[in-house]
Homo-oligomer: A and B are copies of this chain.
Amino acid sequence: MTSAIDFYFDFASPYGYFASTCIDDIASRNGRGVAWHPILLDIVYKVNGTGAPVQHPIKTEYLKNDVARTARFHGIDYKRPTHFPIPTQAAERAVLWVQDHRGGDLSAEFAKSIFRALYVDDVNIGDPAELVRLGEALGIDGAALDIGMHSPAAKDHLKAEIDLAMARGVFGSPFVIVDGEPFWGFDRFAQVEACLKHGRI
């Protein structure tokens, strides 16, 4: 197998951030590429009628602690964002605009830098000016990105990504599909790697 594996994420998902720090390495050491797919969980939860996993008070405190602990356990840089929850539409449209105009490799780097900005450097990634700044640091034309992320084409692309994700059974973040096999959650990444290595588990 040499086709890409599919990685679905929302910048609003800290476990999606954890996944973003290692998904490319996991895939590449097994001879595979990664297709990065930003989606909006708010829409996915609403359409599926599942609700967000953190919406119940009893889980909120647990998950806050679990996120920080899981970062420490895996040695991942993490600082709880002050800008949270945060709207992620602009960031996701920006990533897709870069994907459409500069290709998948640069857009994946851009997505990683947005994740890191939010979960390490406490940047307000809901602010388009911050997205432009992050894009320019990677050599992306800031003025074109600013226009592009607000374009109807970028909006349509994100909507289509979300529709396709739901059609494929995606219901959370991170969500990885390897040759038709779905894996939900950063805690399934050992299984993702086993599946890449052995074809099946």
Contacts and interface: CB of A to CB of B under 8 A. Distances in A.
Interface in A178-195: 182, 184-185, 187-188, 190-191, 194
Given A49-B56, A56-B49, A190 B73 contact: yes
B66 A201 contact: no
A141 to B, nearest CB: 40
Contact of A201 (B49, B51, B73): B73
Interface string A62-78: 10011001101100000
Per assembly, the copies of the chain total 2
Interface residues of A, number: 26
A194 B50 CA distance: 32
A59 interface: yes
Interface of chain A: mostly helix, strand, loop or mixed: helix
Contacts of A194: 73
Contacts of A48: 56, 58
A182 B184 CA distance: 22
A169 interface: yes
A51 B48 CA distance: 15
A66 B185 CA distance: 11
Contacts of A184: 62, 66
Nearest to A47: B58
Interface of A: 48-51, 56, 58-59, 61-62, 65-66, 69-70, 72-73, 169, 171, 182, 184-185, 187-188, 190-191, 194, 201
14 contacts: A48-B56, A49-B56, A50-B58, A50-B59, A51-B51, A58-B169, A62-B171, A62-B182, A62-B184, A65-B182, A66-B184, A69-B191, A69-B201, A70-B191
Given A50-B59, A72-B201, A187-B188, 18 more contacts: A48-B56, A48-B58, A49-B56, A50-B56, A51-B51, A56-B171, A58-B171, A59-B171, A61-B169, A62-B169, A62-B184, A66-B184, A66-B188, A69-B201, A70-B191, A73-B190, A73-B194, A73-B201
